[in-house]
Amino acid sequence: MLAKLREWTDSHNPKWLALFRVALGAILLLRGVAFLNEPEKFRTLIVDNNLSEYQDILMMTIPWVHIGGGFLIIIGLFTRFAAFIQVPVIIGAIIFVTSKRGLYKAETDLSLSIIILMLALVFVVEGSGPLSLANYFKEEQEYEKSEEEAEAKANP
């Protein structure tokens, strides 16, 4: 079933979707860098949402999940995995941060968080697409394999 899904998404993945993939990766990467640059704001965000028990682990993992995942999504390598590991982090942000700030306040990031979640889910299903490093490596491997087969046929 996974092979059928991969085959379908390979044939139905438009090139313009790469712009959204790069934008998603850049947003995640920049968010991770922002968390590392402003640790006190990030710590306050965690403590204000009654997650102080998990403060150390959250402060160590969330920025690096965003940075690493964002980078992989930008270059289009291991995109499904990178987008998949973002989903629980984004859902946690939607649940904890939005519930504390309120749905209708001006400073809420709910709409942006939902858009990012939807894009992450799209790339969990779609993968990296034709304009990606993964596709380049795949085409390079197929080219080398076809050359080896041609050489084997020429020299029996």
Q: How many domains does the chain divide into?
A: 1
The distance from CA 44 to its chain's CA centroid, rounded to whole angstroms, is: 25
pLDDT of residue 38: 94
pLDDT at 105: 60
Q: What is the pLDDT of residues 79-125, one digit of tens each?
A: 999 999 999 999 998 888 776 666 566 556 788 889 999 999 999 99
In a domain? residue 74: yes
- Supply the range of the domain harboring residue 25: 2-146
**Which phi and psi angles does 10 have, rounded to 5°?**
-65, -35
Q: What is the pLDDT of residues 59-85, one digit of tens each?
A: 999 999 999 999 999 999 999 999 999
Contact in structure between 123 and 74 (CB atoms under 8 Å): no
Classify residue 65: in a domain, yes or no: yes
Is the C-alpha dihedral spanning 44, 26, 117, 139 positive or negative? negative
The reply to whether 153 falls in a domain is no
In a domain, 155, yes or no: no
Q: Is residue 156 part of a domain?
A: no
108 within some domain: yes
Residue 34 inside a domain? The answer is: yes
